[in-house]
Amino acid sequence: MENKTIQISNLYKKHGKEEILHNISFVAQPGEVTAFLGPNGAGKSSTLRILLGLDKASSGEARIGGGKYTELHFPLLTVGASFDGVGAPDDRTVLQHLRIVAASNGINYSRISEVLEITDIKHKSKSKIGTLSLGEGQRLGIATALLGDPQFLILDEPTNGLDPSGIRWFRNFIKEQARLGKTILLSSHILTEVEAVTDEVVIINKGNILKTGSLQEVMQDLPSLEEVFFSLTDGGK
């Protein structure tokens, strides 16, 4: 059976004398949105960077579909990631950017109009990236992640900069991706939005996993995911 999970196994990261991740483990399953939550400096970005081959763990493993991201020949056909902005020159147009990314992974240009339609930025195709609003840049990052129609979506702060209609769009979009059977790992600070879309929750603080489980299990008797988060992280301190 094809492995469609994202698996973090005993991930440990030390930078100099500082321990950043303490043997953390969790699994993201297909057909579900797994929310990866924690305050600034908790270890979220370090974990995602290791998962995407941008950093190395001191020990442990981060696997996507049973393999490492760095082993993928055309990664966008398997994994779509929106992480650390668009990552393209400001004077490049949206269409130029998507064409370059598509060509780099052997993706047919016909897919570009599809992802622009999905993310509702087709009208911005000739705009330079430097002129996009923060929310439009987020949509372009998601469009780029979708180019290869990947099984795995790894999204870091995807609702940052989106206006209310954009946030509503994202809710519907991410639920539809899960319904299609995609494996989604989502990191965000906007806990009310996370609560509206997530199936599974992983809460990390100071490099340690504090809680994992379904949204219902994690919330238990507390009224909101925000209350759970602050009770576990001491207000994010």
Q: How confident is the model at residue 35 (pLDDT cuts 50, 70, 90)?
A: very high
pLDDT in the model for residue 235? 55
Full residue range of the structural domain in which residue 28 is found: 6-78+150-233
Q: Which amino acid is at 31?
A: G
Cα-atom radius of gyration of the chain, to the nearest Å? Answer: 18
Which residues are registered as beta bridge partners of 26? 8
Contact 86, 134 (CB under 8 A): no
The answer to whether residue 133 is domain-embedded is yes
- The answer on pLDDT for 72 being more than 70 is yes
pLDDT in the model for residue 86? 78
Q: Nearest 5 degrees, angle CA 163-CA 165-CA 171?
A: 105
Say yes or no: 180 and 93 in one domain.
no
Instruction: Indicate the pTM of the whole model.
Output: 0.93
The answer to whether residue 53 is domain-embedded is yes
**Half-sphere exposure of 174 toward its Cβ, with a 13 Å CA cutoff?**
29
Instruction: Provide the number of structural domains found in the chain.
Output: 2
- Among the listed residues 88, 89, 193, the one whose alpha carbon sits nearest the alpha carbon of residue 141: 88
pLDDT in the model for residue 126? 97
Mean pLDDT of 44-64: 95
Say yes or no: 107 and 168 in one domain.
no
Say yes or no: 156 and 221 in one domain.
yes
Say yes or no: 106 and 215 in one domain.
no
CA dist., res. 237 & res. 233, Å (int): 6
The answer to whether residue 36 is domain-embedded is yes
- The answer on pLDDT for 236 being more than 50 is no
Give 80-96 pLDDT, tens digit per residue.
Answer: 999 877 778 899 999 99
Q: Sheet holding 79-82: strands in order across?
A: 79-82, 152-156, 183-187, 32-37, 200-205, 208-214
- The answer on pLDDT for 36 being more than 50 is yes
Give 156-203 pLDDT, tens digit per residue.
Answer: 999 888 889 999 999 999 999 999 999 999 998 888 889 999 999 999
CATH number at residue 14: 3.40.50.300
The answer to whether residue 1 is domain-embedded is no
Mean pLDDT score of the chain = 93
Which residues are registered as beta bridge partners of 81? 154
Q: Which amino acid is at 133?
A: S
Residue where a domain stops, chosen among 122, 149, 176: 149
